[in-house]
Structure 1
Amino acid sequence: MNMNMLMQQAQKMQKEMEKAQKELEEKVFEIKSAGGGIVIVIKGSKEILSIQVDDELIDKDEKEMLQDMIVVAVNEAIKTVLDEEQKILSKQTSGIRMSGLF
């Protein structure tokens, strides 16, 4: 593979990755945690759009536990987005051939 073809392939891949990143940033994920009692809606840009808490989980005597459950749910939502990013990256880089470089 000559250097010119390699550069063209790299530019094409960069454009495809930028497009995939923009699509991911607009994608909306809904993650349910605590048996569905907490629902996090998050965009691929990692912007949290909403947090819904089931009334049954709201008990002032259990405030600390509820806070812990919300932290777990938010972290789960962020992990979902990061996993999707990794899938996209793997898909975009799966066709790269590096033979002939070294």
Structure 2
Amino acid sequence: MMRGMGNMQNMMKQMKKMQAQMSAEQEALNEQTFEGVAPDDMVKVTFTGDKKMKDITINPEAVDPDDVDMLQDLVLAAVNDALGKVDAQTQSTMGKYTQGLK
């Protein structure tokens, strides 16, 4: 009966170690920056790994008072590009911990 307890303690230690590793990797990921760009670099945005926008640069050529829709589309394209990169990096960094989990 005691042998089972040792296995349980060992498993708990392993889980704590894995949680600490996950936490450290998530923190490192959050500190990374990801740049998203719209076509022709008309709009550039920078996000952190935890999906907070840090910066946006809009090319003056993209600002046309008669075509605000185009500017909105460019901003959306840049934001979605950056967030896609964040998601891809998150999946490749953290995916190993969630494999097999549903």
- The verdict on a shared fold, with TM-score over 0.5 as the criterion, is yes
Structure 1 counterpart of 2:62, from 46, 57, 60: 57
What displacement does 1:12 show?
1.1
Amino acid at match of 1:39: K
Deviation at residue 16 of structure 1 after TM alignment? 0.3
Confirm or deny that 1:26 pairs with 2:31: yes
Q: C-alpha separation between the residues in 1 aligned to 2:95 and 2:48?
A: 20
| Cα distance change on mapping 1:11 and 1:91 into 2, 3 Å | same
Kindly state the Cα deviation for residue 81 of structure 1 after the two structures are TM-superposed: 1.1
2:22 and 2:94 in contact (8 A); partners too: yes
Contact 1:38-1:73 within 8 A present in 2 as well: yes
Normalised TM-score (structure 2): 0.79
**SS of equivalent residue, structure 2 residue 80:** helix
RMSD over aligned Cα atoms = 2.1
Question: Against the structure 1 CA distance between its residues 32 and 72, is the aligned structure 2 distance closer, same or farther, given a 3 Å change threshold?
Answer: closer
Unaligned ranges ≥5, structure 1: 97-102
Report the equivalent of 1:80: 85
Residue aligning to 1:100 = none
Match of 2:51 among 46, 50, 53: 46
User: What is the SS of the residue equivalent to 1:9?
Assistant: helix
- Aligned pair count reads 95
Q: Which runs of 4+ in 1 moved over 4 A?
A: none
Q: Per the alignment, in what secondary structure is the counterpart of residue 4 of structure 1?
A: helix
- Structure 1 segment 81-100 matched on structure 2, within 5 A: 81-92=86-97
State the distance in 1 between where 2:98 and 2:55 align: 33
**Larger CA Rg, structure 1 vs 2:** 2
Q: Secondary structure at the match of 1:61?
A: coil
Displacement of 1:93 in angstroms is: 5.2
